[in-house]
Every structure is written in structure tokens, then in C-alpha cells.
Amino acid sequence: MVLTPPLNRVNWPTATRLIASKYPPIDLYERVSSDRDVWDALIEAEMLTNPRVRNQLGNIRLVPIEERVSGPGASYVMAPFTHLNPKGGRFSDATHGAYYAAQDLPTAVAETSYHFARFAADSADGPRYEEMRVIVGRIDAELHDVEQLAVADRRRLLDPIDYTPGQAFALALRDTGSTGVHYSSVRRAGGKCVAVFRPSAVGIPVQTRHLKYHWDGTAMRRYFDYERDTWIDMEKLENPSGGSAGS
């Protein structure tokens, strides 16, 4: 039996996602025809003649033609579904991607900085920096709401370390045709997040600014906001209820 939370209409005009700046937009997604009938022909031609494009596009066959998006900004939506993390994420595994976004910038920073810091710690990195792009777009979709599950189920799916239950849950939901899930941030109390399973359900976002994460060799304690021209302490990521920060 599939664990199926109630649906909730999520309409966020400024859903926020952070990605490393070292991953540039994929030019082919930006300029490919929006005509679904010519999608495959154009991409196959590019991939046959340009090995660099093959690497950039990832596994395009993971995304059905009817789910693909194109045009300026499209690669920000398509990339999570064609370049899969072998370890997966909270609601995605090594077989299917998801578009993760937060309702606001502080929550997006809290979520992504956790993974940045964990990677740096696991790699025993000394002090280092990572440039990040802030991607903002609209999410307007009916999503399954994890917040409306029983407490025990919710805790299991939002375990801070073990993503296995969430991955199995998401796989079962996707098989029923689910568009995605809405859930509370694990890294910032009061923050809200989504994991969308279909590119076509995501509004084409735009890049709004750059941030720079700083790992000091033991922790990520601050980040630089180029728009505000200042360093911001992670402790100042206040949660919506006014407390201190806690995918």
C-alpha cells in the first residue's frame, strides 16, 4: 500500500533554489525548439556530433518528451533530472531526479549549506569557498503534503540523516503519477520546501544573484551575499517564527 498524503496547492512566486556556479546553463536546452516533435531529432544530432554536449545534457532519455522544457532558463529545470546524484536526495534516488526548492532564500541557504559542509568535512577539506547561483521561479502545482501525515510517518520521512525512507516513499508516489511533495525543512525550523518530480510542473526560473559559501576547515559559519556586499553569519538565518536556525 502506497503512503499517500493529501494534496496541497503550492503557489510560491519566488521558489528559491541554489546551485554551484561551476555548473553553467546548458546551451542546448536554452535554444532547442519548443516543438516536442523535433526535440529528439535536434538533441540526437547534437549528441552524435559533439561529445561535450553529451556530457552537458546528461541522460536526456530519463525525461519523457512531454515532460521536457526549453527556452531561456530551462537548463536550471532540466539538469536535476538528467544529471542524477548517485546517492540521491531526500525524495529522489539514483534512478530519478527532482527539482528541489525552498519557499525563501534563508531556507534554501540552510538546506544547501548543510550538504556543502558535509561534503567538505567528508573530504577533509581545508578552508575553501564555493560560488553559488540563486535561482528563483514560480512553483504552482498540486503536491502531496508530507506535513499532513501522521507524526511517526513524518519523522521517518524527514530523518536528518537517513534518506532511504523518503526515497522509497517518493518512488512509490511517482509511480502513481504524483507531481511532487511539499514538506518542512529539516535544516531550518519553520522553513518550507518542495521536491517536484516533473520538469513540466516547474515554472522557468531566472538567476537573481550570487552567493559565496565559506568553509573554514571545520564548519560553514558564513556566506557572502554579492547583492548586499556583505558576509552573513549562518547563525543569523532566523526562522519564520523568530527563533534560531535548525533536505
- Cα 31 to chain center, whole Å? 23
Q: Which three cell numbers stand for residue 187?
A: 535544516
Within-domain flag for 50: no
Q: What pTM value is reported for the model?
A: 0.86
pLDDT classification of 240: cutoffs 50, 70, 90: very low
Residue 176 near residue 168 (C-beta atoms within 8 A): no
- As a whole-number percent, the residues of the chain with pLDDT over 90 amount to 68
Residue-wise pLDDT for 66-84, tens only, equals: 888 877 888 899 889 988 8
Q: Which three cell numbers stand for residue 212?
A: 559565496
- Run of H or E including 34: none
Of the CA atoms within 13 Å of residue 205, those in its CB half-sphere come to 31
Within-domain flag for 56: no
pLDDT of 31: 60
Which residues are paired to 99 by β-bridges?
196
pLDDT of 58: 65
Residue 242 near residue 139 (C-beta atoms within 8 A): no
Within-domain flag for 71: no
Within-domain flag for 29: no
Compute the distance between CA of residue 34 and CA of residue 118 in angstroms, rounded to an integer. 39
pLDDT higher for 216 or 237? 216
Q: Residue 241 pLDDT > 60, yes or no?
A: no
Residue-wise pLDDT for 117-130, tens only, equals: 999 999 999 999 99
The domain total for the chain is 1
Within-domain flag for 45: no
Residue 232 DSSP class: E
Q: Residue 15 pLDDT > 50, yes or no?
A: yes
Q: Residue 247 pLDDT > 70, yes or no?
A: no
**Phi and psi at residue 86, to the nearest 5°:** -55, -30
3-class DSSP assignment, residue 99: strand
Residue 177 DSSP class: T
pLDDT classification of 52: cutoffs 50, 70, 90: low
DSSP string computed for 142-153: EEEEGGGS-HHH
pLDDT higher for 70 or 101? 101
Within-domain flag for 66: no
Q: Which three cell numbers stand for residue 25?
A: 546553463
pLDDT classification of 192: cutoffs 50, 70, 90: very high
Within-domain flag for 208: yes
The whole-chain average pLDDT of the chain stands at 86
Instruction: Show the domain range for 190.
Output: 7-24+87-236
Within-domain flag for 55: no
